[in-house]
Amino acid sequence: MKYLITIVGPTAIGKTALSIALAQHFKCEIISCDSRQFFKEMTIGTAVPNQEELKAATHHFIQNKSIFENYTVGDYEKEALQKLEELFQNNDYAILIGGSGLYVDAILKGFDEFPEIDPKVRAEVNSNYEKLGIAYLQEQLQNLDPAYYEKIEVENPQTLQNPQRMMRFVEVCIGTQKPYSSFLNQKKNNRNFTPILIGLEADREIIYNRINQRVDIMMNAGLPEEAESLYPNKALNALQTVGYRELFSYFDGDFSLPFAIDEIKKNTRRFSKRQLTWFKRNENTQWFDYATDRKEVIQHIALSIRQ
Protein backbone atom coordinates (compact mmCIF):
# COMPACT_ATOMS: atom_id res chain seq x y z
CA MET A 1 0.00 0.00 0.00
CA LYS A 2 1.24 3.50 -0.89
CA TYR A 3 0.35 6.54 1.23
CA LEU A 4 0.21 10.21 0.25
CA ILE A 5 0.42 12.24 3.46
CA THR A 6 -1.33 15.49 2.52
CA ILE A 7 -0.87 18.66 4.58
CA VAL A 8 -3.36 21.48 4.05
CA GLY A 9 -4.35 24.68 5.80
CA PRO A 10 -4.27 28.47 5.48
CA THR A 11 -1.23 30.45 4.48
CA ALA A 12 1.46 31.15 7.12
CA ILE A 13 0.18 28.37 9.42
CA GLY A 14 3.39 26.29 9.41
CA LYS A 15 2.76 23.67 6.72
CA THR A 16 6.34 23.79 5.40
CA ALA A 17 7.94 23.05 8.78
CA LEU A 18 5.56 20.14 9.42
CA SER A 19 6.06 18.69 5.94
CA ILE A 20 9.84 18.64 6.40
CA ALA A 21 9.53 17.00 9.82
CA LEU A 22 7.25 14.31 8.36
CA ALA A 23 9.46 13.81 5.30
CA GLN A 24 12.44 13.24 7.57
CA HIS A 25 10.50 10.84 9.82
CA PHE A 26 9.08 8.76 6.96
CA LYS A 27 12.27 9.16 4.88
CA CYS A 28 10.33 10.37 1.86
CA GLU A 29 10.08 13.33 -0.54
CA ILE A 30 7.77 16.33 -0.82
CA ILE A 31 5.47 17.34 -3.68
CA SER A 32 4.60 21.03 -3.48
CA CYS A 33 1.00 21.87 -4.30
CA ASP A 34 1.25 25.66 -3.99
CA SER A 35 0.39 27.14 -7.38
CA ARG A 36 2.21 30.39 -6.52
CA GLN A 37 5.50 28.62 -5.80
CA PHE A 38 5.81 26.97 -9.23
CA PHE A 39 7.28 30.10 -10.80
CA LYS A 40 11.02 30.77 -10.61
CA GLU A 41 10.64 34.54 -11.00
CA MET A 42 8.51 34.76 -7.82
CA THR A 43 10.40 33.99 -4.62
CA ILE A 44 9.79 36.43 -1.79
CA GLY A 45 6.10 37.07 -2.39
CA THR A 46 5.26 33.36 -2.56
CA ALA A 47 7.12 32.34 0.62
CA VAL A 48 9.15 29.70 -1.21
CA PRO A 49 11.00 27.41 1.24
CA ASN A 50 14.47 28.78 1.94
CA GLN A 51 17.69 26.99 1.03
CA GLU A 52 18.01 25.41 4.46
CA GLU A 53 14.46 24.02 4.19
CA LEU A 54 15.03 22.77 0.64
CA LYS A 55 18.18 20.95 1.79
CA ALA A 56 16.36 19.38 4.76
CA ALA A 57 14.09 17.35 2.45
CA THR A 58 13.81 16.77 -1.29
CA HIS A 59 11.13 19.03 -2.80
CA HIS A 60 9.44 18.84 -6.20
CA PHE A 61 7.48 21.51 -8.09
CA ILE A 62 9.22 24.45 -6.43
CA GLN A 63 10.15 27.21 -8.91
CA ASN A 64 10.17 24.71 -11.77
CA LYS A 65 8.22 26.86 -14.27
CA SER A 66 8.43 30.37 -15.72
CA ILE A 67 5.69 32.99 -15.48
CA PHE A 68 5.86 33.11 -19.29
CA GLU A 69 4.71 29.48 -19.58
CA ASN A 70 1.03 28.60 -19.84
CA TYR A 71 0.83 26.11 -16.99
CA THR A 72 -2.60 24.81 -16.03
CA VAL A 73 -3.90 22.74 -13.14
CA GLY A 74 -4.41 19.93 -15.66
CA ASP A 75 -0.72 20.10 -16.61
CA TYR A 76 0.19 19.97 -12.94
CA GLU A 77 -2.06 16.97 -12.32
CA LYS A 78 -0.34 14.95 -15.07
CA GLU A 79 3.21 15.90 -14.02
CA ALA A 80 2.64 15.44 -10.29
CA LEU A 81 0.98 12.03 -10.70
CA GLN A 82 3.89 10.93 -12.89
CA LYS A 83 6.36 12.09 -10.23
CA LEU A 84 4.41 10.27 -7.51
CA GLU A 85 4.51 7.10 -9.56
CA GLU A 86 8.30 7.40 -9.68
CA LEU A 87 8.57 8.09 -5.94
CA PHE A 88 6.31 5.19 -5.00
CA GLN A 89 8.56 2.75 -6.86
CA ASN A 90 11.12 3.14 -4.07
CA ASN A 91 9.03 4.30 -1.12
CA ASP A 92 5.66 3.63 0.46
CA TYR A 93 5.25 7.28 1.44
CA ALA A 94 5.24 10.74 -0.10
CA ILE A 95 4.20 14.15 1.23
CA LEU A 96 1.83 16.53 -0.58
CA ILE A 97 1.77 20.05 0.82
CA GLY A 98 0.01 23.19 -0.25
CA GLY A 99 -2.63 25.82 0.19
CA SER A 100 -4.06 25.68 -3.34
CA GLY A 101 -7.27 23.71 -2.88
CA LEU A 102 -7.94 23.15 -6.58
CA TYR A 103 -4.47 21.66 -7.07
CA VAL A 104 -4.81 19.41 -4.01
CA ASP A 105 -8.11 18.13 -5.41
CA ALA A 106 -6.46 17.54 -8.80
CA ILE A 107 -4.01 15.09 -7.21
CA LEU A 108 -6.38 13.40 -4.78
CA LYS A 109 -9.48 13.16 -6.97
CA GLY A 110 -8.69 14.31 -10.50
CA PHE A 111 -10.90 16.32 -12.82
CA ASP A 112 -13.88 15.70 -15.01
CA GLU A 113 -13.21 15.34 -18.72
CA PHE A 114 -14.54 17.93 -21.18
CA PRO A 115 -14.72 17.87 -24.98
CA GLU A 116 -12.24 19.96 -26.97
CA ILE A 117 -13.57 23.48 -27.51
CA ASP A 118 -13.20 25.22 -30.88
CA PRO A 119 -10.50 27.93 -30.48
CA LYS A 120 -12.84 30.36 -32.29
CA VAL A 121 -15.39 29.99 -29.48
CA ARG A 122 -12.67 30.63 -26.89
CA ALA A 123 -11.49 33.72 -28.80
CA GLU A 124 -15.03 35.07 -29.09
CA VAL A 125 -15.76 34.61 -25.38
CA ASN A 126 -12.45 36.28 -24.52
CA SER A 127 -13.15 39.17 -26.89
CA ASN A 128 -16.62 39.73 -25.41
CA TYR A 129 -15.16 39.68 -21.90
CA GLU A 130 -12.55 42.28 -22.91
CA LYS A 131 -15.32 44.56 -24.19
CA LEU A 132 -18.10 43.90 -21.67
CA GLY A 133 -16.32 42.78 -18.50
CA ILE A 134 -17.15 40.13 -15.91
CA ALA A 135 -20.89 40.96 -16.03
CA TYR A 136 -21.04 39.47 -19.54
CA LEU A 137 -19.65 36.15 -18.30
CA GLN A 138 -21.97 36.09 -15.30
CA GLU A 139 -25.02 36.76 -17.46
CA GLN A 140 -23.99 34.10 -19.99
CA LEU A 141 -23.49 31.42 -17.35
CA GLN A 142 -26.76 32.33 -15.65
CA ASN A 143 -28.58 31.86 -18.96
CA LEU A 144 -26.70 28.78 -20.22
CA ASP A 145 -26.37 26.85 -16.94
CA PRO A 146 -28.64 28.42 -14.30
CA ALA A 147 -28.34 25.48 -11.88
CA TYR A 148 -24.54 25.67 -11.84
CA TYR A 149 -24.62 29.46 -11.52
CA GLU A 150 -26.84 29.14 -8.46
CA LYS A 151 -24.57 26.46 -6.96
CA ILE A 152 -21.52 28.74 -7.34
CA GLU A 153 -23.45 31.71 -5.91
CA VAL A 154 -24.25 29.72 -2.77
CA GLU A 155 -21.07 27.65 -2.27
CA ASN A 156 -18.22 29.67 -3.79
CA PRO A 157 -19.37 33.18 -4.76
CA GLN A 158 -15.85 34.55 -5.34
CA THR A 159 -15.64 32.28 -8.40
CA LEU A 160 -18.19 34.55 -10.10
CA GLN A 161 -15.49 37.26 -10.02
CA ASN A 162 -12.78 35.02 -11.48
CA PRO A 163 -12.57 35.74 -15.24
CA GLN A 164 -10.44 32.68 -16.11
CA ARG A 165 -12.83 30.25 -14.45
CA MET A 166 -15.93 32.04 -15.76
CA MET A 167 -14.62 32.13 -19.34
CA ARG A 168 -14.00 28.38 -19.13
CA PHE A 169 -17.57 27.71 -17.95
CA VAL A 170 -19.06 29.87 -20.70
CA GLU A 171 -16.89 28.53 -23.54
CA VAL A 172 -17.82 24.95 -22.62
CA CYS A 173 -21.54 25.84 -22.60
CA ILE A 174 -21.32 27.59 -25.97
CA GLY A 175 -18.87 25.17 -27.59
CA THR A 176 -20.79 22.01 -26.64
CA GLN A 177 -24.32 23.42 -26.59
CA LYS A 178 -24.70 21.72 -23.21
CA PRO A 179 -24.60 23.02 -19.63
CA TYR A 180 -21.12 23.00 -18.08
CA SER A 181 -22.51 21.06 -15.11
CA SER A 182 -23.57 18.17 -17.37
CA PHE A 183 -19.90 17.16 -17.68
CA LEU A 184 -19.25 17.07 -13.93
CA ASN A 185 -18.92 13.86 -11.92
CA GLN A 186 -19.07 11.64 -15.01
CA LYS A 187 -15.76 9.86 -14.49
CA LYS A 188 -14.19 8.16 -11.49
CA ASN A 189 -10.45 8.79 -11.28
CA ASN A 190 -8.63 5.89 -9.69
CA ARG A 191 -5.50 6.59 -7.66
CA ASN A 192 -2.83 4.04 -6.75
CA PHE A 193 -2.30 5.56 -3.30
CA THR A 194 -4.24 6.14 -0.10
CA PRO A 195 -4.38 9.77 1.03
CA ILE A 196 -3.95 10.66 4.70
CA LEU A 197 -5.15 14.23 5.14
CA ILE A 198 -3.71 16.47 7.85
CA GLY A 199 -5.05 20.00 8.36
CA LEU A 200 -3.38 22.76 10.38
CA GLU A 201 -5.50 25.47 11.95
CA ALA A 202 -5.41 28.12 14.68
CA ASP A 203 -7.64 30.77 16.19
CA ARG A 204 -8.41 33.44 13.61
CA GLU A 205 -6.49 36.08 15.56
CA ILE A 206 -3.37 33.92 15.57
CA ILE A 207 -3.64 33.24 11.82
CA TYR A 208 -4.09 36.95 11.11
CA ASN A 209 -1.13 37.91 13.29
CA ARG A 210 1.07 35.33 11.56
CA ILE A 211 -0.02 36.69 8.16
CA ASN A 212 0.72 40.28 9.17
CA GLN A 213 4.15 39.29 10.47
CA ARG A 214 4.93 37.34 7.30
CA VAL A 215 4.01 40.31 5.09
CA ASP A 216 6.29 42.59 7.16
CA ILE A 217 9.13 40.05 6.78
CA MET A 218 8.54 39.88 3.01
CA MET A 219 8.64 43.66 2.68
CA ASN A 220 11.91 43.83 4.61
CA ALA A 221 13.32 40.96 2.52
CA GLY A 222 12.83 42.92 -0.72
CA LEU A 223 9.31 42.19 -1.98
CA PRO A 224 8.91 45.72 -3.43
CA GLU A 225 12.08 45.27 -5.50
CA GLU A 226 10.99 41.80 -6.64
CA ALA A 227 7.56 43.14 -7.65
CA GLU A 228 9.17 46.08 -9.48
CA SER A 229 11.29 43.70 -11.55
CA LEU A 230 8.09 41.86 -12.56
CA TYR A 231 6.04 45.02 -13.12
CA PRO A 232 6.56 45.14 -16.93
CA ASN A 233 4.84 41.73 -17.11
CA LYS A 234 2.04 42.55 -14.67
CA ALA A 235 -0.68 41.39 -17.10
CA LEU A 236 0.54 37.76 -17.02
CA ASN A 237 -1.84 35.32 -15.37
CA ALA A 238 0.81 34.06 -12.91
CA LEU A 239 1.18 37.57 -11.48
CA GLN A 240 -2.53 38.06 -10.71
CA THR A 241 -1.87 37.19 -7.12
CA VAL A 242 -1.86 38.78 -3.68
CA GLY A 243 1.35 40.56 -2.79
CA TYR A 244 2.16 41.54 -6.36
CA ARG A 245 -1.14 43.05 -7.51
CA GLU A 246 -1.17 45.57 -4.66
CA LEU A 247 2.41 46.66 -5.31
CA PHE A 248 1.66 47.00 -9.03
CA SER A 249 -1.10 49.44 -8.02
CA TYR A 250 1.51 51.31 -5.97
CA PHE A 251 3.80 51.53 -9.01
CA ASP A 252 0.81 52.71 -11.07
CA GLY A 253 0.36 55.56 -8.60
CA ASP A 254 -3.04 54.32 -7.41
CA PHE A 255 -1.87 53.31 -3.90
CA SER A 256 0.59 54.75 -1.43
CA LEU A 257 3.13 52.21 -0.17
CA PRO A 258 1.64 51.99 3.36
CA PHE A 259 -1.82 51.48 1.83
CA ALA A 260 -0.48 48.79 -0.52
CA ILE A 261 1.06 46.94 2.44
CA ASP A 262 -2.23 47.12 4.35
CA GLU A 263 -4.05 45.80 1.26
CA ILE A 264 -1.62 42.87 0.98
CA LYS A 265 -2.31 41.96 4.61
CA LYS A 266 -6.07 42.36 4.23
CA ASN A 267 -6.26 40.37 0.98
CA THR A 268 -4.03 37.61 2.38
CA ARG A 269 -6.32 37.34 5.41
CA ARG A 270 -9.31 37.02 3.09
CA PHE A 271 -7.44 34.39 1.08
CA SER A 272 -6.75 32.39 4.25
CA LYS A 273 -10.47 32.37 5.07
CA ARG A 274 -11.27 31.00 1.60
CA GLN A 275 -8.57 28.35 2.01
CA LEU A 276 -10.08 27.13 5.28
CA THR A 277 -13.58 27.10 3.79
CA TRP A 278 -12.32 24.97 0.88
CA PHE A 279 -10.35 22.49 2.97
CA LYS A 280 -13.02 22.12 5.67
CA ARG A 281 -15.33 20.62 3.05
CA ASN A 282 -13.37 17.37 3.18
CA GLU A 283 -14.64 15.35 6.12
CA ASN A 284 -11.66 12.96 5.91
CA THR A 285 -9.20 15.64 7.05
CA GLN A 286 -7.87 15.35 10.59
CA TRP A 287 -7.34 18.86 11.94
CA PHE A 288 -4.60 19.80 14.40
CA ASP A 289 -3.78 23.06 16.11
CA TYR A 290 -0.69 24.56 14.46
CA ALA A 291 1.26 24.26 17.73
CA THR A 292 0.51 20.54 18.22
CA ASP A 293 3.59 18.42 18.98
CA ARG A 294 4.69 16.72 15.76
CA LYS A 295 4.87 13.38 17.57
CA GLU A 296 1.09 13.53 17.94
CA VAL A 297 0.66 14.09 14.19
CA ILE A 298 3.06 11.22 13.43
CA GLN A 299 1.13 8.97 15.84
CA HIS A 300 -2.14 9.79 14.04
CA ILE A 301 -0.56 8.92 10.68
CA ALA A 302 0.82 5.65 12.06
CA LEU A 303 -2.66 4.71 13.37
CA SER A 304 -4.24 5.60 9.98
CA ILE A 305 -1.75 3.33 8.20
CA ARG A 306 -2.48 0.40 10.53
CA GLN A 307 -6.25 0.63 10.08
- Tell me if 144 sits within 8 A of 173, measured CB to CB: yes
The 10 Å Cβ neighbour count of residue 268 is 22
One DSSP character per residue, 217-255 reads HHHHHTHHHHHHHHGGGTTSGGG-STTTHHHHHHHHTSS
Q: Rounded distance, CA 5 to CA 8, Å? A: 10
Annotated ligand binding at 241? The verdict is no
Annotated ligand binding at 157? The verdict is no
- Tell me if 224 sits within 8 A of 247, measured CB to CB: yes
Expressed in angstroms, the distance from the first to the final Cα of the chain is: 12
Q: Rounded distance, CA 59 to CA 300, Å? A: 23
Annotated ligand binding at 74? The verdict is no
Annotated ligand binding at 15? The verdict is yes
Q: Rounded to 5, what percent of the chain is helix, strand, coil?
A: 55, 10, 35
Annotated ligand binding at 83? The verdict is no
Annotated ligand binding at 44? The verdict is no
Q: Rounded distance, CA 180 to CA 169, Å? A: 6
- Tell me if 39 sits within 8 A of 238, measured CB to CB: yes
- Rg of the chain, C-alpha, whole Å: 20
- Tell me if 13 sits within 8 A of 78, measured CB to CB: no
Annotated ligand binding at 49? The verdict is no
Annotated ligand binding at 295? The verdict is no
Q: Which residues contact 305 (CB under 8 A, 6 or more apart)?
A: 1, 3, 196
State the binding site: 9-16
State the binding site for ATP: 9-16
State the binding site for substrate: 11-16
